[in-house]
C-alpha cells in the first residue's frame, strides 16, 4: 500500500531539447552538396558533447572563378567575435568537407572561443580554444625534430634512460562521412541536360498568338549552359478580308542554339542568354476555286533572353525561359488573284516552361 500511494508523488523527469548551437547559411553552385547535407556532416563530426554553450553563426559561400577553380569564404561569428577563412579547392566536395570539419571543431571546443579559433589560426592537434603546446609541423623545436636529451653517467649512479619524442598526428574525432551518390554525381564538371517536354507560347511572329511544344538538349560546363532547342507551333488559319472562305493554313517550325551564363547559382539559378533561331514557315492555300498549292520560306532570327532554373534534385529541375528576337526576314503570305493574307512580324517574344533532366 505504501508503494501504491507513493508512486503518484514521484517527480516526473523534465525533458528539454538542447538548443541548436549552429546557425549556418550555405551558398554554393548547384552541383555542390546542399545545406542539409553539410549540416548532417557537422552533426556527425561534432557529436553530442559540448561544454561551451556559445552560439556559433557561420556564413559559407563557394564561388567558381573563370578558370573553373572553386573558392570558399567562411565567415564565423561567436558573440562579438568574427573570424574569416579563405580556402581554394578542386571540388565542391572538398570545400564542403573543410567547412564541416572547421565548424565541428568549433562546436566541440572545451574552452571559450577566440578570434584566432574562429579564423582557424588557433587550431592544432587540440580542439580550438583548448590550451596546450603547439605541435604544428615546420617548428624549429628539438621536440618536433625527434631529438632526445641525454646526460652523462657518473660513478655510482645509474645512467638515465634516453627518451625520444616525435610529433603525433591528431586523430579525427569521427571518421570522414562518405558522400552519397547524388554528391558524387554533383562533382562532375559538366552535365548533360535534356529539357522536354516544354510548353511554349509566342507572340509577334504570326498574326495571332501561338502555342506549341518545345524541347532542348545540351550540356552545362561551369557557369555556362549550351543548348540546341526546337519548337513546333500550332497551325494557324489566315483568311482574306473580303472572302472569308478563302485562306491559307500556316505552320511554323523553329530550331537553333542557346547559350546562357549563370549569374546566380545555387538551388535557384538565373542566367542571361543569347539566342539564334532558324525559322521555317510553310503555307497551303484552300477555299473555293483555290488550288491547294503550298509555299515555304526559311530565315534567321536573333536575340537575347533569360533562363530561370529551380533544382529540385541532383537529376531533376524545373526550367522557364523567355527570349525576344528580331526577324531578319518578313515573308508575306499571299494567294494569286486574292492578295495578301498576312506578313511575319518584325519582333517575336517566346516563353517556355517545363522539366529539365540532368545526367
Strand partners, 215: 230
Taking 80 as the threshold, does the pLDDT of residue 300 lie above it? yes
Interstrand relation of 56-64 and 22-27 (parallel, antiparallel or unpaired): parallel
Confidence of residue 224 (pLDDT cuts 50, 70, 90): very high
Confidence of residue 113 (pLDDT cuts 50, 70, 90): confident
Taking 50 as the threshold, does the pLDDT of residue 277 lie above it? yes
Taking 80 as the threshold, does the pLDDT of residue 47 lie above it? no
Global confidence as pTM = 0.52
Report long-range pairs for 264-267 (Cβ below 8 Å, ≥24 apart). 265/28, 265/29, 265/30, 265/64, 265/223, 266/27, 266/28, 266/29, 266/30, 267/30, 267/34, 267/310, 267/311
First-residue to last-residue Cα distance in the chain: 71
Confidence of residue 51 (pLDDT cuts 50, 70, 90): low
Question: What domains are there in the chain, each with its CATH number?
Answer: 21-129 (3.30.160.100), 188-358 (2.40.160.70)
Taking 90 as the threshold, does the pLDDT of residue 2 lie above it? no
pLDDT of residue 243: 76
Taking 70 as the threshold, does the pLDDT of residue 323 lie above it? yes
Question: CB within 8 A of 35, min separation 6: which ones?
Answer: 24, 25, 26
Confidence of residue 8 (pLDDT cuts 50, 70, 90): very low
Taking 80 as the threshold, does the pLDDT of residue 158 lie above it? no
Confidence of residue 159 (pLDDT cuts 50, 70, 90): very low
- Across the range 44-67, mean pLDDT stands at 78
Taking 50 as the threshold, does the pLDDT of residue 167 lie above it? no
pLDDT digits over 174-212, tens only? Answer: 444 444 444 444 445 689 999 999 999 999 888 899 999
pLDDT of residue 287: 78
Confidence of residue 56 (pLDDT cuts 50, 70, 90): confident
Confidence of residue 53 (pLDDT cuts 50, 70, 90): low
Confidence of residue 280 (pLDDT cuts 50, 70, 90): very high
pLDDT of residue 132: 38
Q: Which three cell numbers stand for residue 311?
A: 533544382
Q: What percent of the chain has pLDDT over 70?
A: 74
Strand partners, 343: 332
Least confident of 248-262, 288-302, 305-319: 288-302
| Closest C-alpha among 41, 48, 170 to residue 96 | 41
Taking 90 as the threshold, does the pLDDT of residue 219 lie above it? yes
Strand partners, 324: 304, 349
pLDDT digits over 14-36, tens only? Answer: 334 445 678 889 998 888 898 88
pLDDT digits over 134-153, tens only? Answer: 333 333 333 333 433 443 44
pLDDT digits over 230-272, tens only? Answer: 999 999 998 887 777 788 899 999 999 999 999 998 889 999 9
Taking 90 as the threshold, does the pLDDT of residue 50 lie above it? no
Q: Which three cell numbers stand for residue 136?
A: 604544428
Amino acid at each position: 500500500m505504501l508503494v501504491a500511494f507513493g508512486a503518484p508523488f514521484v517527480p516526473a523527469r523534465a525533458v528539454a531539447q538542447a538548443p541548436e548551437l549552429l546557425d549556418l547559411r550555405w551558398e554554393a553552385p548547384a552541383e555542390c552538396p546542399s545545406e542539409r547535407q553539410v549540416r548532417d556532416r557537422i552533426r556527425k563530426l561534432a557529436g553530442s558533447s559540448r561544454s561551451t554553450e556559445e552560439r556559433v553563426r557561420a556564413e559559407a559561400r563557394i564561388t567558381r572563378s573563370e578558370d573553373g577553380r572553386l573558392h570558399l569564404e567562411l565567415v564565423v561569428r561567436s558573440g562579438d567575435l568574427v573570424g574569416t577563412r579563405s580556402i581554394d579547392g578542386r571540388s565542391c566536395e572538398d570545400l564542403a568537407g573543410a567547412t564541416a570539419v572547421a565548424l565541428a571543431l568549433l562546436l566541440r571546443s572545451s574552452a571559450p572561443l577566440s578570434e584566432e579559433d574562429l579564423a582557424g589560426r588557433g587550431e592544432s592537434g587540440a580542439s580550438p580554444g583548448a590550451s596546450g603546446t603547439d605541435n604544428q609541423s615546420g617548428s624549429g623545436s628539438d621536440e618536433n625534430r625527434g631529438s632526445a636529451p641525454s646526460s652523462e653517467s657518473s660513478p655510482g649512479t645509474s645512467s638515465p634512460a634516453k627518451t625520444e619524442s616525435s610529433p603525433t598526428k591528431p586523430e579525427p574525432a569521427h571518421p570522414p562521412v562518405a558522400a552519397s551518390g547524388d554528391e558524387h554525381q554533383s562533382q562532375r564538371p559538366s552535365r548533360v541536360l535534356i529539357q522536354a517536354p516544354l510548353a511554349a507560347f509566342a507572340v509577334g511572329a504570326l498574326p495571332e498568338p501561338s502555342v506549341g511544344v518545345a524541347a532542348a538538349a545540351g550540356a552545362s560546363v561551369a557557369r555556362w549552359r549550351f543548348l540546341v532547342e526546337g519548337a513546333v507551333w500550332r497551325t494557324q488559319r489566315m483568311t482574306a478580308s473580303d472572302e472569308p472562305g478563302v485562306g491559307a493554313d500556316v505552320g511554323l517550325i523553329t530550331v537553333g542554339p542557346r547559350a546562357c551564363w549563370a549569374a546566380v547559382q545555387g538551388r535557384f539559378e538565373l542566367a542571361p542568354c543569347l539566342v539564334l533561331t532558324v525559322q521555317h514557315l510553310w503555307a497551303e492555300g484552300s477555299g473555293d476555286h483555290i488550288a491547294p498549292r503550298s509555299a515555304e520560306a526559311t530565315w534567321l532570327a536573333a536575340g537575347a533572353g533569360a533562363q530561370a532554373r529551380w533544382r529540385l534534385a541532383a537529376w531533376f529541375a524545373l526550367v522557364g525561359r523567355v527570349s525576344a528576337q528580331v526577324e531578319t526576314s518578313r515573308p508575306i503570305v499571299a494567294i494569286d488573284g486574292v492578295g495578301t493574307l498576312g506578313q511575319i512580324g518584325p519582333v517575336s517574344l517566346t516563353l517556355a516552361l517545363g522539366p529539365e533532366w540532368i545526367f
